[in-house]
């Protein structure tokens, strides 16, 4: 499930009743704009406990047109890169392993004591 910007705004506004929906929308849009601006000027963004955003250079290479199969020269470019922080990785892995364990419990055959 993807969380869109408008859904994020709605969730924050619902949790922070003292803030108007417009204020939350302005804050989120401003944050996204500032992050975009920082990356576009070659900066790095670090949010402790969440992760960091930076640019990675993807060198020029030869690609292929999927329709025709013709080789195409692709120029090098910078692409945004996200590296999750330790706390985010641990939280994601904990929730994923908990849901995987629950799924295994549901599919595992039941063993009766009378067998």
pLDDT in tens, 79-92: 999 999 999 999 99
Beta bridge partners of 54: 81
Fold of 54-97: HU Protein; Chain A (4.10.520)
The answer to whether residues 52 and 43 touch, using CB atoms and an 8 Å cutoff, is no
Residue 82 is classified by DSSP as E
> What single DSSP character describes residue 109?
P
For residue 46, the SS3 value is strand
With residue 74 as reference, give the H or E element that holds it: strand 71-74
Q: For residue 50, what are the contacts with CB-CB under 8 A and spacing of at least 6? A: 84, 85, 87, 88
Mean pLDDT of the chain: 90
**Band (115; pLDDT cuts 50, 70, 90):** very low
Cα end-to-end distance, the chain, whole Å: 42
pTM of the model: 0.71
């Amino acid at each position: 499930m993807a969380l869109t910007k408008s859904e994020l705004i709605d969730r924050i506004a619902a949790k922070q009743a003292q803030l108007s929906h417009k204020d939350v929308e302005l804050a989120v849009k401003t944050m996204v704009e500032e992050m975009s601006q920082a990356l576009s000027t070659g900066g790095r963004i670090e949010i402790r406990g969440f992760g960091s955003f930076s640019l990675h250079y993807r060198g020029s290479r030869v690609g292929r047109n999927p329709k025709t199969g013709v080789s195409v020269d692709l120029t090098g470019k910078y692409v945004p890169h996200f590296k999750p922080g330790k706390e985010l990785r641990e939280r994601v892995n904990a929730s994923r392993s908990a849901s995987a364990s629950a799924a295994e419990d549901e599919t595992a055959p039941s063993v009766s004591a009378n067998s």
